[in-house]
Chains A and B, each alone.
Chain A
Amino acid sequence: MPDTQWPEYVVFQQDKPERVHHYAGGVHAPDAEVALLNARDVFVRRPECISLWVVRRDLIFGATSEEISLDPNWFTQFEVPEGRIEKYAVFQKHGPRGVHEYTGTVEGRSSRDALRAALTVYANQDVTVWWVTPEEAIRRSTSDDIAALFAIAETKFYRDEGQYRTQEALRKIKAMRDKEQSSHGE
């Protein structure tokens, strides 16, 4: 049997209440519950997280501004299915630095339809990448998870580089050795 590493989920992380969710990376998981737990283990080994969202990678539809600007037919050349209107979450990446951030929601009959709506609603010169995904596809941590899943990273003092005063120790040892050597020389 060929190997399976399970499907890939994209992880969005919220650092503080006043900040929006941003793209953190991805995890592999067989289902959304395991994906959420894995996201916690991979991305919250250190504190600074109050919420995680995970979305199956194949449920995210994206386009870069370059793609959109180069294709004159981008806005027209696709079929909008008959299906029901759904809510989609929109993510934007701004400028050359930074990562994709949650921007808001739009409605659409397909991912591409939703992306077209997003381009109208959230138009911004600065956007380099657009992502949309059905709101229903997002598995979210809850407020109850903050204490159990995220806050406990605070007790892991040993990951803080400030715990290791090595440069200070090296300077002290060097000074001691220099002093010893100069007194030997006299």
Chain B
Amino acid sequence: MENDLKDALAARLLAMGDDEAILGHRDSEWCGHAPILEEDIAFANIALDEIGHAQVWYALHAELLGEDAASYPDELVYRRSAGAFRHAPLLELPKGDWAFSMLRQYLFDLYESVMLAKLADSQNESIAGAAIRIGREEIYHRRHTQTWVRRLGLGTEESNSRMQTALDALWPHVMELFRPLSGDATLIEVGILPNLGDVQTVWEAAIRPWLTESNLAIPEAIPSNYTRTHHTKHLATLLDDLQEVVRLYPEGSW
């Protein structure tokens, strides 16, 4: 593979892995604290899936760089500093209330399921295969989260207002999911990656009616100042927690 293409693909896979790892981490914070026991279990399932997806993308990233696919993902998650992470800042925001976490999960699940459906036709066979495997789990996520978004949107005045507040806070951060990385154009050209504009079109066509029918008003699209390379202050706090044990005993293997 040409170097340009390889660098571009590595960067894209890293961003995809980071998205999943950071969201899975935030979701896992709910286990033991959810509004009802059934949802402690359900949301933990979603977190487990997302962390599993991170492992898949990180492993492909590692293979591409000639690194060990089994151990390199942990190097990435546990030994990088905040500035090196490439996920969308949407995913690092603190878990907030149940409306915030559920709506973020829905916005991301829908993005992910559209992306995976297109990646299933990728010219890169490893990516296409992974997208098909992971895609099965996203069908379930999407069903779970859209069921919840509908019910919280239309439930009570309080639930509606909490959902609207969450949507207003999340919406500016969503756009970063669709902003191409510097190398993406190369990948799109050779059919490895779909055009993110197309992903966004499909995503909006699905998400706008669902939110509107859930009695939620879609805010104006004003992108936030935070990007995949410029994170909010919350990432450092998140990593202090996530990397605590490894930093305490840097020589250890686990």
Check A-B contact in the complex, CB < 8 A. yes
Interface membership of chain A positions 4-39, coded 1 if the CB is closer than 8 angstroms to chain B and 0 otherwise: 011000000000000000000001111001100110
Query: What CA separation (Å) do A33 and B151 show in the bound complex?
Result: 11
Q: Is the interface of A mostly helix, strand, loop or mixed?
A: helix
Interfacial chain B residues near A45, Cβ < 8 Å: 41, 45
Q: 8 closest pairs, A vs B, by CB?
A: A148-B139, A41-B42, A38-B38, A41-B41, A148-B140, A152-B137, A41-B45, A152-B136
Most interface-central of A6, A27, A41, A42 (chain B CB within 10 A): A41
Complex Cα distance, B48 from A156, in Å, reads: 9
Q: Which of A34, A42, A148 contacts B147 (CB 8 A)?
A: A34
**Which residue on B lies nearest to A41, using beta carbons?**
B42
Q: Is B247 located at the chain interface by the 8 A CB criterion?
A: no
- B234 touches A (CB below 8 Å): no
Separation of A30 and B41 alpha carbons in the complex (Å)? 16
The size of the chain A interface, using a CB distance under 8 A, is 21
Judge if B162 is at the interface, Cβ distance under 8 Å.
no
User: Which residues on A sit within 8 Å (CB–CB) of B143?
Assistant: 37, 148
Per-position 1/0 for B174-218, Cβ under 8 A of A: 000000000000000000000000000000000000000000000
Q: Which residues of A contact B52 (CB under 8 A)?
A: 155-156
Which A residues lie within 8 Å of B151 (CB)?
A: 30, 34
Whether A5 contacts B36 in the complex (CB less than 8 A), given A41-B41, A41-B45, A42-B41, comes out as yes
Number of interface residues of B (CB under 8 A): 18
- Docked-complex contact B38 and A29, CB < 8 angstroms: yes
B26 lies within 8 A of chain A by Cβ? no
Residues of B within 8 A of A (CB): 36-38, 41-42, 45, 48-49, 52, 133, 136-137, 139-140, 143-144, 147, 151
Tell me the complex Cα distance, A30–B36, Å.
11
In contact, A151 and B136 (Cβ under 8 angstroms): yes
Could you show 5 A-B contacts with beta carbons less than 8 Å apart?
A: A38-B42, A41-B45, A42-B38, A148-B136, A151-B136
Shortest CB-to-CB span from B74 to chain A, Å, is 15
| Identity of the chain A residue whose Cβ is nearest the Cβ of B48 in the assembled complex | A156
A149 within 8 A of B: yes
Residues of B within 8 A of A155 (CB): 52, 133
With a cutoff of 8 Å between Cβ atoms, the chain A residues found around residue B38 in the complex are 27-29, 38, 41-42
Interface centre among A5, A149, A151, A152 (most CB of B within 10 A): A152
Q: Report if A176 contacts B (CB, 8 A).
A: no
- Asked whether any CB of chain B lies closer than 8 Å to the CB of A147, the reply is yes
- The answer to whether B36 and A152 have CB atoms under 8 Å apart is no
- In the bound assembly, the distance between CA atoms of A152 and B143 in angstroms comes to 14
List the A residue with the shortest CB-CB distance to B42.
A41
Residue contact A37 to B137, C-beta cutoff 8 Å:
no
Tell me the bound Cα distance from A85 to B54 in angstroms: 54
User: Chain A residues near B45 (CB, 8 Å)?
Assistant: 41, 45
Complex: chain A residue closest to B46, CB-CB: A41
CB-CB nearest in chain B for A34 = B147
Residue of chain B at shortest CB distance from A40:
B140
Contacts of A152 on B, CB cut-off 8 Å? Answer: 49, 136-137, 140
- How many Å from the CB of A61 to the closest CB on chain B? 25
Q: For the complex formed, measure the closest distance between the CB of A185 and the CB atoms of chain B, giving whole angstroms.
A: 31
Interfacial chain B residues near A37, Cβ < 8 Å:
42, 143-144, 147
In the complex, what residue of chain A is closest to B49 when comparing beta carbons? A152
Q: Give A45 to B44 CA distance when docked, in angstroms.
A: 10
